[in-house]
Amino acid sequence: MIVVVARYGLGIVLALAVFGKAGNFAAFRSSLATFGLRGRLAQVGAFTVVTVEALAALMVVSPVADVVVGVTGTCLGACFTVAQTYLLAVGEQAPCLCFGSKERASIRTWARAALVLLMGLALWGAAA
């Protein structure tokens, strides 16, 4: 049961993230300046993040093994949690545009990133 909840929960969260970023792609691309990505590098970075999230969300409804989906979710969640931790540590109040929201970096945005990490870990652990 935990595998089903973690797998589809992860897929839903990632799909929402993709739609949020893709729906306001220019703003998401601009938000990457917070991490030092500007111009062409920001364009490539934004496209890469959205593409990887979309592929990971699609993995959920594919025959890909649960452990692979779990490892992918864990890696994405770790990256997102590190990014949110960085923003909080340096006191950056920039919006992350993580789910299409202009909500500024906060413990709430950090918790959403950590949720992706935890669902990936749960799926990875349960499937292994």
Q: Kindly report, residue by residue over 36-70, the tens digit of the pLDDT.
A: 899 999 999 999 999 999 999 999 999 999 999 99
Domain spans in the chain, listed from the N-terminal domain onward: 2-122
Task: Cite the DSSP H helix spans in 2-106.
Answer: 2-23, 25-31, 39-60, 66-89
Look over the chain and give the mean of its residue pLDDT values, rounded to a whole number. 90
Q: Kindly report, residue by residue over 96-114, the tens digit of the pLDDT.
A: 777 767 788 889 989 989 9
Name the pTM for this structure: 0.88
